Amino acid sequence: MAIPVVDPARYDQQLEAKRERIIRDFARFSPPPLEFTPSPPSHYRQRCEFRLWHEGDDLFYAMFEVDPEDPGKKTVVRLDDYPVASRRINSLMPALLDAIRDVPLLRRKLFQVEFLTTLSGEALVTLVYHRKLDEQWEVEARRLQETLGVMIIGRARKQRLVLECDHVWERLEIEGREFIYQQVENSFTQPNAEICRAMLAWARDVTRGSQAGDLVELYCGNGNFTVALAENFRRVLATEISRTSVASARENLVANGIDNVTVGRMSAEEFAAALKGEKSGRRVAEWALDEYDFSTVLVDPPRAGLDEASCRQLGDYSRIVYISCNPESLADNLEILNETHMITRFALFDQFPWTPHCECGVLLERRD
């Protein structure tokens, strides 16, 4: 992994290079003009994790730079600040080190620090140790929590000590409305909150006018898109395999006063089988699939994208909203989806500035 080098003066140049690459790589699908959303050029990541490096009395954050000529060779890079991370994280980085440097109970065998923050400044800090944590550690950690004005979790092998709370609440204003999201420690959340807002606004726009139909969402995570899109549909059925994410999605629906969504714990492959009548059981029966009229499907798959069978299954829907964190796997999937659907909206979201990575949004509508 290359550690991003932040240079705001060059931001437009790096974004333009990404835009040109996406236009070139997807030209064979004859998409409409590419919409694109820039990121803040710095301080855009709301969550980060660092190794904590001990050298005598010195203590500093570290990441590893991989040698491209020898992937097995890594160089330790000292980080006194991290312009990629939110301003809240950057203010906490030195404050945390100053607070624990001379406190053996907090410092000893501490090897990793994880920060989770929000746009409003709420912060959760996880301290990860190579030793068992005891009551004396907890006493000192509570003092640290009060000193820094954060919530703290301690982790060690087979231990997870939550001192106050295991999540933060992110608040995103989209189209004049505030959406609230519980984001749980050690589970996936969108790292770039400003780009997340843009993605949700785009998804709301491309699905507007769908109230007569129902939405099925695969890989719904903590309900990031589910919450924002629910009012655009009569009913929503969202599925996710992670137990933690399912619980968080349900919390987010309640927090936002949404009552037309059902979240089920099931893999995308199992759900596809249930839709075809090849999988039954109590959970499937409770969903009453026959009562839905799925006009739209939303998928936000892992970097590997969808397998061929899953792509073929999407062909059954009139509209497909595909959110992708990997343009390469998206292009592979579009080779199949393009047989039955055409791209009518296409967007680039610069989720990860200063890296080659891109986030894309595609709306596909069934060909006549």
Q: Please identify every residue annotated as catalytic.
A: 325, 359
Rg of the chain in Å (alpha carbons): 22
Q: How many CA atoms lie within 13 A of 101 on its CB side?
A: 14
Q: Which bin fits 121, alpha (ψ -120 to 50), beta or left (φ > 0)?
A: left
Quote the strand ranges of the chain, DSSP E. Answer: 35-37, 47-55, 58-67, 70-79, 110-117, 123-129, 151-156, 159-162, 167-174, 177-184, 214-218, 236-240, 261-265, 294-299, 319-324, 341-349, 359-366
Q: Do the strands 214-218 and 236-240 form a parallel or antiparallel pair, or are they unpaired?
A: parallel
CA distance 360 to 340: 20
Question: How far from 249 is each of 72, 182, 188, 270, CA to CA, in Å?
Answer: 39, 8, 12, 19
What the block records as the tokens of 329 is 């796997």
Triad 241, 116, 146: Cα angle to 5°: 130
What the block records as the tokens of 77 is 């890079």
Burial bucket for residue 239 (CB in 10 Å: 0-12, 13-18, 19+): buried
Residues found in the chain: 368
Element (H, E) at 88: helix 87-100
**39: DSSP letter:** P
**44: DSSP letter:** -
Q: Do the strands 341-349 and 359-366 form a parallel or antiparallel pair, or are they unpaired?
A: antiparallel
Q: First-to-last CA distance in the chain?
A: 45
What the block records as the tokens of 225 is 């898109």
